[in-house]
């Protein structure tokens, strides 16, 4: 063992971080639920492991999702991650080839130029030397972009960038120093021993012309080793911990581990896998209302720092826009809801007064939901259509019914929500219906996600009305109306229903395509998910969305959510309708033209 002293900081650092990561991974994985641990065990020796490796390559090294969002941002991350990875791999192969064995001291591959001062003679040795110089240049291009981003983040497709805390700053300094110091010490060594390649050798020769290289060589390698050590030791307290944790996340996610309604090991893994890239800041519409401290990146940072407060936890629309844009693919909405459940355990309501009982028999159970009761024109239109098509339905929440439970769930009142879910489930199942028809996307999502309704198909009225049209049970007529369709968050990003509303509407009017639609749709600002936001702030978000719509000059704004409709209606004179109203208006117009009879409007 003739390890030079300067290599020790690096060796200690790398040992520290590997041991730390192994311990923390064991803690997190044992913190998973029993069934999740079984999932990992069962899937470990399957193709899923290879799929996970492939995904690690794509996302952690190449940063494919980042590329999709912004090529410059993607390139910056790729040059760091993939460049460094290749530098390590190439270094090891180079050392292995040189020593004709895989069994060589580890430090020698990292500090190869210091260990082997003989100039490369063979073609292969020259190629390795050139490759490592090339990779250094490649990484440098990323370092320069990163430096530039600190001053101007616009070219990276980001309006905002996150603020750094002390741990981040230390790790960041370490990270930025690693490659320049490596460049400098390799150049110095090349200046003395002529073992450099096309990049380091000329630099070395230049430095040799005015510096006593012999006397500063060892010091320069010390600096390199120390900067590596600084980075590794600062890693656990910095955002760069996301690098190893993201890899762990990709594996356990691939094995089928999912978020639960309580905090466990997987919640921890997701929390620490956040790279704090700040992409979510740009997705968040609350910035329009000057709410700058509760976005996902800050929320996760607070969990990590154990400084989470209700003010920030509950100040979120749960619109899911950040989740769609998150390059790490974190379940940001559910992470927040889980935290809300943790923080509201003691405040749960009782609901002793909920009544059970036998429901009337019907083919279809119609559940309008509270919000549709507050927008009676939607309810009236739906009832008219159902009567028109002669559907045997039971209007479940006509007089008295409990809420679907989703608003409670969003507020973290999980136990209370479960009571409502139980009560509603009983009523729905005892009706013998095969279809549960809902007019509110908020209800639709919880009926699909948290109810167990065997043999019952949950349908949003956009899907159901489309089916009635396809079966020829209701007529269509195309009216000369140009409209924009607003995808409600819970129906779109929440439940991935994008096409049925559009297909349905195309039978009755013309749709103007928008940039802000489907996955990229905006939130109306009225979300029930946020219980901290002020009315004025909601208004600012709403008006901003309405301005976006107005830029397309629509005759009407069509949506599929009573809450969106209510929110928008307060802010504009443009007609706002739910698609049920559009359909009923179409039917009555058609009937009027065909038979000259007048139906109720």
**Residues at the contact surface with other proteins, assessed by CB under 8 A:** 373-377, 380, 535, 539, 565-566, 569-570
Tell me how far, at minimum, the Cβ of 582 lies from other proteins, in Å. 16
Output the six-digit token pair for 209.
């012309």
- Angle at which helix 123-151 crosses helix 71-99, to 10 degrees, equals 150
Tell me how far, at minimum, the Cβ of 399 lies from other proteins, in Å. 8
Output the six-digit token pair for 155.
């070219």
Tell me how far, at minimum, the Cβ of 570 lies from other proteins, in Å. 5
Nearest CB to other proteins, comparing residues 301 and 565: 565
Tell me how far, at minimum, the Cβ of 366 lies from other proteins, in Å. 14
3-state class percentages of the chain: helix first, strand second, coil last, to nearest 5 = 60, 5, 35
What spatial distance separates the first Cα and last Cα of the chain, rounded to whole Å? 91
Tell me how far, at minimum, the Cβ of 535 lies from other proteins, in Å. 4
Nearest CB to other proteins, comparing residues 503 and 544: 544
Nearest CB to other proteins, comparing residues 276 and 565: 565
Tell me how far, at minimum, the Cβ of 365 lies from other proteins, in Å. 19
Nearest CB to other proteins, comparing residues 383 and 466: 383
DSSP 235: G
- Walk across the sheet containing 393-395 and list its strands: 393-395, 364-367, 435-438, 457-460
Tell me how far, at minimum, the Cβ of 569 lies from other proteins, in Å. 6
DSSP 277: -
Q: DSSP string spanning 378-428?
A: HHHHHHHHHHHTT--EEETTSS-----SHHHHHTT-HHHHHHHHHHHHHHH
Nearest CB to other proteins, comparing residues 173 and 569: 569
Nearest CB to other proteins, comparing residues 2 and 573: 573
Residue listed under structure tokens 């709403």: 542
Nearest CB to other proteins, comparing residues 405 and 562: 562
- Walk across the sheet containing 556-559 and list its strands: 510-511, 482-486, 556-559, 575-578
Nearest CB to other proteins, comparing residues 64 and 539: 539
Nearest CB to other proteins, comparing residues 463 and 581: 581
Nearest CB to other proteins, comparing residues 190 and 576: 576
Q: DSSP string spanning 160-213?
A: --PPP-HHHHHHHHHHHHHHHHHHHHHHHHHHHH----TTHHHHHHHHHTTS-H
Tell me how far, at minimum, the Cβ of 408 lies from other proteins, in Å. 18
Would you say 525 and 335 are in contact if contact means Cβ atoms under 8 Å apart? no
In sequence order, what are the residues at sequence separation of 6 or more whose Cβ sits closer than 8 angstroms to the Cβ of residue 60?
A: 81, 243, 246, 247, 250
Tell me how far, at minimum, the Cβ of 372 lies from other proteins, in Å. 10
Nearest CB to other proteins, comparing residues 375 and 588: 375
Tell me how far, at minimum, the Cβ of 418 lies from other proteins, in Å. 23
Nearest CB to other proteins, comparing residues 290 and 471: 290
State CA 43 to chain mean position distance.
Answer: 24
In sequence order, what are the residues at sequence separation of 6 or more whose Cβ sits closer than 8 angstroms to the Cβ of residue 462?
A: 491, 497, 500, 501, 504, 560, 579
Q: For residues 271 and 265, give the distance between their C-alpha atoms in angstroms, rounded to a whole number.
A: 10
Residue listed under structure tokens 């000259």: 596
Tell me how far, at minimum, the Cβ of 536 lies from other proteins, in Å. 8
Pick from 499, 507, 513, 516: nearest CA to 560:
499
Show the beta-strand stretches assigned E in 326-396. Answer: 364-367, 393-395
Would you say 399 and 427 are in contact if contact means Cβ atoms under 8 Å apart? no
Nearest CB to other proteins, comparing residues 189 and 375: 375
Long-range contacts at 446-451 (CB < 8 A, ≥ 24 apart): 446/404, 446/405, 446/406, 446/409, 446/417, 446/421, 447/367, 447/404, 448/495, 450/405, 450/409, 450/417, 450/421, 451/421, 451/424, 451/425
Q: DSSP string spanning 285-322?
A: GGGGGT--S-SHHHHHHHHHTT---HHHHS------HH
Nearest CB to other proteins, comparing residues 260 and 373: 373
Nearest CB to other proteins, comparing residues 296 and 527: 527
Output the six-digit token pair for 245.
């944790």
Q: For residues 90 and 96, give the distance between their C-alpha atoms in angstroms, rounded to a whole number.
A: 10
């Amino acid at each position: 063992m003739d390890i030079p002293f300067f290599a020790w900081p690096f060796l200690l650092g790398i040992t520290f971080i590997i041991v730390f990561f192994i311990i923390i991974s064991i803690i997190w994985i044992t913190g998973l639920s029993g069934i999740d641990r079984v999932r990992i065990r069962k899937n470990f020796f399957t193709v899923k492991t290879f799929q996970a490796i492939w995904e690690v390559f794509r996302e952690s090294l190449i940063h494919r999702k980042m590329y999709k969002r912004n090529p410059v941002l993607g390139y910056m991350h790729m040059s760091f991650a993939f460049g460094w990875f290749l530098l390590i791999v190439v270094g090891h192969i180079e050392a292995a080839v040189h020593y004709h064995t895989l069994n060589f001291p580890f430090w020698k591959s990292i500090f190869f130029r210091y260990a082997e001062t003989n100039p490369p003679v063979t073609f292969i040795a020259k190629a390795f030397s050139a490759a490592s110089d090339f990779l250094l240049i490649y990484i440098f291009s990323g370092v320069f972009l990163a430096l530039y981003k600190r001053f101007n983040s616009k070219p990276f497709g980001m309006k905002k960038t996150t603020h750094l805390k002390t741990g981040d700053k230390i790790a960041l300094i370490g990270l930025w120093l690693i490659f320049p110091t490596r460049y400098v010490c390799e150049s110095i060594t090349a200046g003395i021993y002529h073992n450099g390649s096309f990049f380091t050798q000329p630099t070395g020769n230049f430095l040799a012309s005015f510096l006593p290289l012999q006397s500063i060589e060892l010091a320069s390698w010390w600096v390199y080793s120390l900067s590596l050590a600084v980075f590794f030791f600062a890693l656990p307290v910095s955002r760069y911990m996301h690098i190893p944790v993201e890899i762990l996340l990709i594996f356990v996610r691939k094995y089928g581990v999912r978020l639960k309604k309580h905090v466990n090991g997987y919640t921890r893994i997701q929390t620490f896998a956040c790279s704090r890239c700040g992409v979510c800041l740009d997705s968040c519409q609350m910035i329009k209302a000057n709410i700058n401290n509760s976005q996902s990146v800050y929320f996760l940072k607070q969990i990590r720092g154990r400084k989470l407060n209700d003010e920030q936890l509950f100040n979120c629309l749960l619109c899911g826009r950040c989740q769609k844009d998150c390059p790490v693919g974190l379940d940001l909405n559910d992470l927040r809801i889980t935290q809300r459940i943790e923080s509201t355990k003691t405040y749960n309501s009782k609901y002793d007064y909920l009544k059970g009982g036998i429901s009337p028999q019907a083919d279809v159970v119609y559940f309008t939901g509270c919000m549709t009761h507050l927008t009676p024109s939607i309810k009236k239109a739906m009832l008219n259509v159902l009567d028109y098509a002669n559907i045997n339905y039971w209007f479940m929440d006509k007089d008295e019914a409990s809420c679907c439970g989703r608003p409670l769930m969003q507020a973290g009142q999980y136990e209370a929500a479960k009571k409502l879910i139980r009560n509603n489930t009983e009523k729905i199942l005892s009706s013998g219906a095969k279809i549960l028809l809902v007019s509110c996307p908020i209800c639709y999502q919880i009926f699909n996600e948290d109810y167990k309704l065997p043999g019952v198909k949950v349908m949003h009225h956009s899907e159901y009305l489309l089916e009635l049209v396809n079966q020829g049970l209701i007529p269509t007529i195309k009216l000369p109306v140009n409209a924009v369709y607003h995808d409600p968050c819970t129906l779109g990003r929440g439940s991935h229903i994008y096409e049925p509303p559009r297909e349905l509407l195309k039978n009755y009017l013309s749709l103007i395509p928008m940039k802000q639609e489907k996955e990229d749709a905006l939130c109306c600002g009225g979300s029930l998910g946020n219980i901290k936001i002020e009315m004025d702030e909601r208004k600012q978000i709403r008006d901003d969305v309405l301005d976006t719509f107005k830029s397309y000059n629509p005759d009407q704004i069509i949506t599929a959510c009573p809450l969106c409709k209510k929110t928008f209606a307060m802010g504009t004179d443009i007609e706002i309708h739910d698609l049920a109203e559009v359909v009923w208006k179409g039917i009555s117009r058609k009937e009027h033209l065909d038979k000259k009879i007048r139906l109720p409007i």
